[in-house]
Structure 1
Amino acid sequence: MTTPQGYRLVSVDQTRASEVLHVDAFAFAFTVPDKDAGFIQDVLPWERTRAVEVADPVRGTEGTLAAVHASFKFGTRVPGGREVPTAGLSWVGVHPGHRRRGLLRAMIGDHFSRSLARGEAISTLFAAETQIYQRFGYGMAATEARVQLGRGVELRPLPGSENLIVEVDSASIERHGPTIASIQSRMTRPGTVSTLAPQTLADVLMDLEIDRDGSEELRIATVRDGDDPVAWALFQRKQEWGDTGPDGKVRVRAWGALGAAATVRLWGVLADFDLMSATHAGRFAPDDPLLLRLKDMRAAKITLTDNLWVRILDVAEALEARGYAADCDVTVQVDDSFLPQNAGVWRVLVAAGEAKVTREGAADPASADLRLDVQELGAAYLGGTTITELTRAQLVDERTPGTAAELSRAMASDVKPVANFGF
């Protein structure tokens, strides 16, 4: 990938933390007080943080940073309960004084090549502006429900859930980081970040005063089954008073649970704090047990939005890394203008849940059963969006009748994907 004239790609370490924060503050329109600026030292993976630096005085002050990005090391859960090495793209920002010069494209190319060199077959992200990342082949692989729960929301009873132990405390990475990591490692829902780097935990538990907007400090609710932690949630309450009394709000920032009983117990607490009238939360998969156990779904005020975006970096590695629900033998023409090594005809042969994916180098592209862009392959990767749905939307071209349904059944997941916290 060619770097635009007058710039160079560089690695940055903690000694340039203030410069990285400066670029992203301009890119995302925020200001961090000096007393809080040190947080960036803990939350970025500095060995995987890159930038575009001014190399020519014509472009600005030589040596200053014009754009930045970071890549988190994740293990992402995929269908079949497996884990795939992942590059979690984040902190992507171009200084407004250097926009429209191809810096983002250069950084994405740099991110892809370095991720592939580390053996990471996919890249994931949460998109600040979704149209931007589709240009680079990211597909919307998961959606999430956001809900507003009234105090004391009624759930269908689940015998035994009331016996689980709940603890509520001020959040601490030292005391609660291991609990969160333990629960995440046992979650099997596709899209889950199942292996967390230390910087990821620090980011999840970050509690800057400028982000509180009048709320309390970051709190955590944990649920235990005996000594075994089975659910966690980070939340903040904001006290408000209406004409008729207390009207406080609870904002749940991130959460995770192992099973329906832990989910019911956790949300029975989060939606029933004194002086609070509503609890706002997201990161619910469309098939989450809480949504299915609501007695009045209409009262929950549910909205649906995008969640995790997936970019396939290595077609064969990524497809062979996940599990499959049915056998299939389909040839697929993949279009990938950004990573041409992915482009071409691939045979996807699945038996007993395992895939063998091989390039059909001699095949006429027109002979492939299906044709799709790498963006659609990413969208279908976690089993949330099906190949059949993409075909009906005419985003997949079915040339051999029945093959879209065949591949769709194979790539389907019984559990809807979602990432239960952002990064």
Structure 2
Amino acid sequence: MTTELRVLRDADFDGWYAALELAFGGVPEAPEEVALWRELAGFDRSIGVWDGPEAVGTTGAFAFRITVPGGERVPAAGVTMVSVLPTHRRRGLLRRMMRRQLDDVRAWGEPLAVLTASEPDIYGRFGYGIATHSLSVRIDTARVRLSVPPGTEGVRLRLSEPAEARDACEAVYARRVAARPGMLARQPGWEALPVLDPAAGREGASPLKCVLAEEDGRTVGYARYAVRPDWSDAGANGTVLLRDAEALTPAAYAALWRYLTEIDLTSYVSASNRPVDDPLLHLVSDVRRCEARVKDSLHVRLVDVGAALAARTYRGAVDLVLEVADDFCPWNAGRWRLTGDAKGASCERTEDAADLALSVRELGSAYLGGVSLAALAGAGRVRELREGALEEAAAAFGSDVAPWLPHGF
């Protein structure tokens, strides 16, 4: 059969999205959720494969700006909605879409492509490396106490409807973006995602709730959550389901977590996406009773090695020649001299002898500072060609705070 790969058109969307839903199990999403993704998708940045009139493969690329070490917000293609129908597997359709997409991202002048993977083993062959991890917790609030910092008692907490509090929450979020690599600057329209709350997706939980933290009359933090009631013969046993929380001061952050852990008729607080170095871990009395788990989150792909490495800063002075392998995007392959420090960097082609050899996948993993080049070398994925180069590179690429993706896409 002959298949056609083309850019998405408005008239294509319903069939294209139906193919995506089918590939992900066939459970239709709520109409309001589909409407939001239609609004955000950007048809000129989405592609599909058609077999006659039927969409059989899908992918898109949101236009993001992602924080990198040093605080710069770098253009990045947010790869999303990747699917191939089970009837069309093993025909190279995914490879065709990835090829076209990365060519497009390069033409758009975006040095990075990023994604979250439903199946993490798929994307390494296209040059993506796991760059951030997320922490999930399930806190047993009957057994865990919080030790809060001075000033917590001065924080005022106020319940508000999520839609009414959206602008105040977005202002707090915007001030937090530069503080942590991996965070996404919210583009117009994306402010609707954190308050999207279709009734069909609540699975027995309450409608979304929002609590604001205020200091001196200013909103300095928020938490958005739902409560899933549960009862046993021993009494109430509900769970607080945290969607997101941000704060500008340690006192406000502690006040929000203390509020969440003390909600009546609940015994647990569950959060599925927090930074791996979340201060929460240092507020709780017993981290074992928090059932902390870590999993992969953001996968990063350098589309333009020189521009990407020059866009971030480095924790220490670095002057290295990197021998980069990149079979899928051969324009990146070869030797690059990276020179930089905490003030800035440059990365240019060179013929000088290489200090380290690695693939673009390892560069993607290390790019945001959360995965050590030394750890990758321990796995045999980075080779030191000059003594001392690995130690220099590992120190320079690191980040003082763990990179973190605040929400999916």
Query: Do both proteins adopt the same fold according to a TM-score greater than 0.5, normalized to the shorter chain?
Result: yes
Rate the CA distance shift 1:181–1:401 in 2: closer, same or farther, 3 A. same
Question: What is residue 221 of structure 2 aligned with on the other side?
Answer: 231
String of CA shifts for 1:110-149, please: whole Å, max 9, x gaps. Answer: 2222222222111111111100111211111111211111
Single out whichever of 137-146 and 349-358 deviates more from structure 2: 349-358
**Deviations, residues 48-90 of structure 1 (Å, cap 9, x unaligned):** 4423232xxxxx4x13211112222221111112211111111
For 1:184, give the aligned amino acid: Y
User: Residue 274 of structure 1 corresponds to which residue in structure 2?
Assistant: 264
Aligned to 2:2: 6
Aligned equivalent of 1:183, options 153, 162, 172: 172
Match of 2:62 among 72, 83, 102: 72
Shift in CA distance, 49/357, structure 1 to aligned 2, threshold 3 Å: closer
Query: After superposition, what is the alpha-carbon deviation per residue over 1:146-185, rounded to whole angstroms, capped at 9, x for unaligned?
Result: 111123642222111232232333432xx34433332222
Give runs of ≥4 in structure 1 deviating > 4 Å. Answer: 33-38, 40-43
**How far off is 1:43 after superposition?**
5.0
Corresponding residue of 2:155: 164
Which one is further off, 210-219 or 333-342?
210-219
Q: Are residues 1:371 and 2:357 paired? A: yes
Is contact 1:332-1:369 (8 Å) kept?
yes
- Between stretches 67-76 and 26-35, larger displacement belongs to 26-35
Q: Which of 13, 25, 49 is matched with 1:17 structurally?
A: 13
Task: Kindly provide the CA deviation profile for residues 241-294 of structure 1, in whole angstroms up to 9, marking residues without a partner as x.
Answer: 111011111211233333422321221122221111101103222222111222
CA distance in 1, matches of 2:76, 2:180: 16
Supply the AA of the counterpart residue of 1:12.
L
2:83 is aligned with 1:87: no
TM-score computed with the length of structure 1 as normaliser? 0.90
Distance (Å, rounded) in 1 between the aligned partners of 2:243 and 2:35 = 18
- Please tell me the root mean square deviation across aligned C-alpha atoms, in Å: 2.1
Partner-residue secondary structure (3-state), 1:410: helix
How high is the sequence identity, in percent, across the aligned residues? 33
Does residue 31 of structure 1 match 2:27? Answer: yes
Instruction: For residue 335 of structure 1, report the CA deviation from its aligned partner.
Output: 0.7
Unaligned runs of 5+ in 1: 55-59
Q: 2:47 aligns with which of 51, 57, 61?
A: 51
Give the Cα–Cα distance (whole angstroms) in 2 for the partners of residues 309 and 33 of structure 1.
25
* Structure 2 CA distance for aligned equivalents of residues 165 and 158 of structure 1: 15
1:325–1:411 contact (8 Å) kept in structure 2? yes
Relative distance call for 1:261 and 1:72 in structure 2 (3 A) is farther
Number of residue pairs matched? 406
Distance in 1 between residues matched to 2:73 and 2:30, nearest whole Å: 39
Q: Which moved more, 1:163-172 or 1:260-269?
A: 163-172
Secondary structure of the residue aligned to 1:119 is coil
Moved more, 268-277 or 128-137: 268-277
Secondary structure in 2 matching 1:414: coil
Q: CA deviation at 1:102?
A: 1.4
TM-score normalised over the length of structure 2: 0.93
* Structure 2, unpaired ranges of 5+: none
Establish whether residue 209 from structure 1 lines up as the match of residue 199 from structure 2.
yes
Distance 1:34 1:325 in 2: 45
Q: How far apart are residue 323 of structure 1 and its match? A: 1.3
CA deviations 1:197-240 (Å, max 9, x no partner) are: 23433333322222111111222233233343332333221111
Counterparts of 2:148 and 2:165 in 1: how far apart (Å)? 29
8 Å contact from structure 1 (residues 42, 202) kept in 2: no
Amino acid at match of 1:27: A
